[in-house]
Amino acid sequence: MSEPVSTDPVSTDLVDELRSRVRALLTEAWPNGAATQDVDALDFLRARFDAGLAWVHFPVGLGGLGAPRALQAVVDAELAAAGAPDNDPRRIGIGLGMAAPTILRYGTSEQQRRWLRPLWTGEEVWCQLFSEPGAGSDLAALATRALPGTDGVWTVDGQKVWTSSAHTARWAILVARTDPAVPKHRGITYFVCDMTDPGVEVRPLRQITGEAEFNEVFLTGVRIPDTDRLGAVGEGWQVAQTTLNNERVSIGGQATPREGGLIGIVARTWRTHPELRTAELHQRLLRHWVDAEVLRLTGERLRQQLAAGQPGPEGAGGKLAFARLAQELTGFEVELLGEAGLGYDDWTMVRPELVDFTGREAGYRYLRAKGNSIEGGTSEILRNIIAERVLGLPPEPRTDKDVPWKELAR
pLDDT in tens, 200-220: 999 999 888 888 888 999 999
Q: Mind telling me the catalytic residues?
A: 247
- Alpha-carbon span 251 to 93, nearest angstrom: 9
pLDDT for 31 equals: 83
pLDDT for 356 equals: 67
Instruction: Provide DSSP, 363-382.
Output: HHHHHHGGGGGTTTS-HHHH
- Alpha-carbon span 265 to 261, nearest angstrom: 7
Task: Name the more confident of 122 and 340.
Answer: 122
pLDDT for 11 equals: 75
Which of 23, 52, 86 is the C-terminal boundary of a domain? 86
Other beta carbons less than 10 A from residue 268's beta carbon? 11
| Number of domains, the chain | 2
Q: pLDDT band for 250, please (50, 70, 90 cuts).
A: low
Q: pLDDT band for 253, please (50, 70, 90 cuts).
A: low
Contacts of 248 (CB under 8 A, 6+ apart): 311, 315, 316, 318, 319, 376, 377, 382
Which of 86, 111, 140 is the C-terminal boundary of a domain? 86
If you average pLDDT over residues 324-338, what whole number do you get? 95
pLDDT for 244 equals: 87
Q: Does residue 379 sit within a domain?
A: yes
Q: Does residue 403 sit within a domain?
A: no
Lowest mean pLDDT among 204-218, 250-264, 287-301, 371-385: 250-264
pLDDT for 48 equals: 97
If you average pLDDT over residues 190-207, what whole number do you get? 96
Q: Does residue 293 sit within a domain?
A: yes
pLDDT for 303 equals: 67
Q: pLDDT band for 284, please (50, 70, 90 cuts).
A: very high
10 Å CB burial of residue 47 (0-12, 13-18, 19+) is middle
Q: Is the pLDDT of residue 23 over 90?
A: yes
Q: Does residue 123 sit within a domain?
A: no
Q: pLDDT band for 38, please (50, 70, 90 cuts).
A: low
Report percent pLDDT > 90 for the chain.
61
Q: Does residue 99 sit within a domain?
A: no
β-pairing, 171-177 with 200-205? unpaired
Q: Does residue 228 sit within a domain?
A: no
Q: pLDDT band for 306, please (50, 70, 90 cuts).
A: low
Lowest mean pLDDT among 101-115, 137-151, 372-386: 372-386
pLDDT for 6 equals: 52
The CATH number of the domain where 314 resides is what?
1.20.140.10
**Letter for the amino acid at 308?**
A
pTM of the model: 0.87
Q: Is the pLDDT of residue 36 over 70?
A: no
Residue-wise pLDDT tens digits, 45-96: 999 999 999 999 999 999 999 998 889 989 999 999 999 999 999 899 999 9
pLDDT for 37 equals: 52
> What is the span of the domain harbouring residue 360?
242-390
DSSP state of 393: P
- Alpha-carbon span 368 to 363, nearest angstrom: 9
For the chain, what's the residue count? 410
If you average pLDDT over residues 262-269, what whole number do you get? 93
- Alpha-carbon span 175 to 188, nearest angstrom: 7
Contacts of 112 (CB under 8 A, 6+ apart): 62, 103, 104
Which of 55, 86, 117 is the C-terminal boundary of a domain? 86
- Alpha-carbon span 96 to 111, nearest angstrom: 15
If you average pLDDT over residues 112-138, what whole number do you get? 94
Report percent pLDDT > 70 for the chain.
88
Average pLDDT in the chain: 88
pLDDT for 117 equals: 98
- What's the gap between Cα 272 and its chain centre? 33
Strand ranges (DSSP E) for 226-279? 229-230
Q: pLDDT band for 118, please (50, 70, 90 cuts).
A: very high
